Amino acid sequence: MKKLTMAVASSALLATAAWTAHALAQDQPAKAQQPQAPAGKGAEAQLREQGRYLATAADCIACHTAKGGKPYAGGLGIASPIGTIYSPNITPDKATGIGGYSFEAFDNAVRRGIAKDGSTLYPAMPYPSYAKMKPSDVKALYAYFMHDVTPVEQQNKATAIPWPLSMRWPLRFWRMAFAPDAVGEGVPGAPATTSETVARGRYLVEGAAHCGTCHTPRGLGLQEKALTDDFRVYLSGGVVDGYVAKNLRGDRKDGLGEWTPEQIVAFLKSGRNNHAAAFGGMAEVVQRSTQNMSDADLEAIAAYLKTLSPANPAQSPLAADATATQQLRAGTDRSNGALTFVDNCAACHRTSGSGYESTFPTLALSSVVNSDDPTSLIHIVLKGGQMPWTKAAPTHYGMPGFAARLTDRDIADVLTFVRSSWGNRAPAVSASDVAKVRKAVRAAPQPARPENG
């Protein structure tokens, strides 16, 4: 009995690995179609328009479109420790897509993780979040997919998972243990004191927009540790594809405690604000999804995020300190970290670390820079980054990668310098931290330089 339980637990565990973001970094799906109003203005047309909007907010296209492939025709490889899962075709093609799905079958897949044949879907499909979507919203999604998505005849690719791990039945236990029940029509569990705006924000963040799939840490079964703000671990930061999808709670050093609601809206709409610029998986989320959401919904999301108490209430805010700026300008700090910064980073991020608003993000007093886990910082220095292209901010600036130019020691030193200057207070970064990320993200090998051994 124990053996069986262990087998179930371990295959379910393996089978549910770090899904979501793999898809996003591995292959970049095609751009979302520009919304266009369907002909006619009846209730049906309105429903379909609502469905189109929700599909964007839920970013269905991210996973269900292969690199260079037709929208929603599936075939995107999603890496997992036990093999690759290919997303299915969800265009309304009768033979190869979901054209033959009734509303009930569609709803079961989207909110309950149950496929048409009764088997359980891998939670690479974020149904534990979509379970929070109201039935009326799922009806709108269904109408949109059935009528406005172009049918594409394309066979689904079988998962490349070897037997016995390919057996789906253990997934059922995972589902029963970790997935919430699909909700009814009322917004569930909202405290009576919550404003309508906050309730709407919560509905979007927990449900369609599934922010927690990346931003909430995962437990032993690789389930999100919380799916709602009942626990402080919710949205307190997860690791996704070699980036930290960071703390979005009210922490004042490494969370959103110092961001105003307007700044959160600007970030989701344009991919940048005076605190940060979106990079990694978040650049794609902004590009494909949040920039196309209405101002009212972005304001609701911001209002909800601002209600989240700090994960670590003892955290004190950062205070600006001009010492590093003065030393860099006077040339008195001869440490490798400071010299590497002046030679490689200061042209854009400036000796004050403050960058140029909406062009080169600030490194001073930045919640990204001050996260305990330095993975994102090492990753972006190794590989560089491109801000998202958005309607609100059409020029997207980039940062070059330094993998082939700086050694692990240089990168550790420059990041340790950045994390302890201008008022920043975050732990030092070691050369072995950098070596690990360099390997994990398959960056170029460090340059051979005799003085660095």
Binding annotation for heme c: 60, 63-64, 211, 214-215, 345, 348-349
Q: Which part of the chain contacts ligand HEC (CB under 6 A), choosing from 7-15, 109-117, 146-154, 312-320?
A: 109-117
| Residue of 149, 245, 338, 412 that binds ligand HEC (CB under 6 A) | 245
Q: Please, which of residues 366-385 interact with ligand HEC by CB under 6 A?
A: 366-369, 376-377, 380-381, 385
Q: Does 209 bind ligand HEC (CB under 6 A)?
A: yes
**Cα distance between residue 233 and residue 238, in whole Å:** 10
Q: Does 278 bind ligand HEC (CB under 6 A)?
A: yes
Q: Does 18 bind ligand HEC (CB under 6 A)?
A: no
Q: What are phi and psi of 319, to 5 degrees?
A: -125, 135
Q: Tell me the number of residues near ligand HEC by CB under 6 A.
A: 80
| Residue of 75, 281, 353, 374 that binds ligand HEC (CB under 6 A) | 281
**Cα distance between residue 372 and residue 177, in whole Å:** 31
Report the residue closest to ligand HEC, judged by CB: 385
List the beta bridge partners of residue 343. Answer: none
Q: Which part of the chain contacts ligand HEC (CB under 6 A), choosing from 181-189, 224-232, 310-318, 343-351?
A: 343-351
Residue number, 3 or 115, with CB nearest to ligand HEC: 115
- Beta strand pairing status for 243-245 and 385-386? unpaired
Q: Does 248 bind ligand HEC (CB under 6 A)?
A: yes
**Cα distance between residue 268 and residue 277, in whole Å:** 10
Task: Spell out the SS3 assignment of 370-403.
Answer: CCCCCHHHHHHHHHCEECCCCCCCCCCCEECCCC
CB-CB contact of 132 with 185 (8 Å): no
Residue number, 198 or 363, with CB nearest to ligand HEC: 363
Q: Which part of the chain contacts ligand HEC (CB under 6 A), choosing from 4-12, 36-44, 57-65, 173-181?
A: 57-65
Of 329, 284, 359, the closest CA to residue 421 belongs to: 329
Q: Please, which of residues 68-107 interact with ligand HEC by CB under 6 A?
A: 78, 85, 87-88, 90, 98, 106
Q: Please, which of residues 387-446 interact with ligand HEC by CB under 6 A?
A: 387, 397-400, 402, 414, 418
Q: Please, which of residues 163-202 interact with ligand HEC by CB under 6 A?
A: none
Of 91, 78, 64, the closest CA to residue 16 belongs to: 78
Of 202, 231, 245, 179, the closest CA to residue 20 belongs to: 245
CB-CB contact of 281 with 385 (8 Å): no
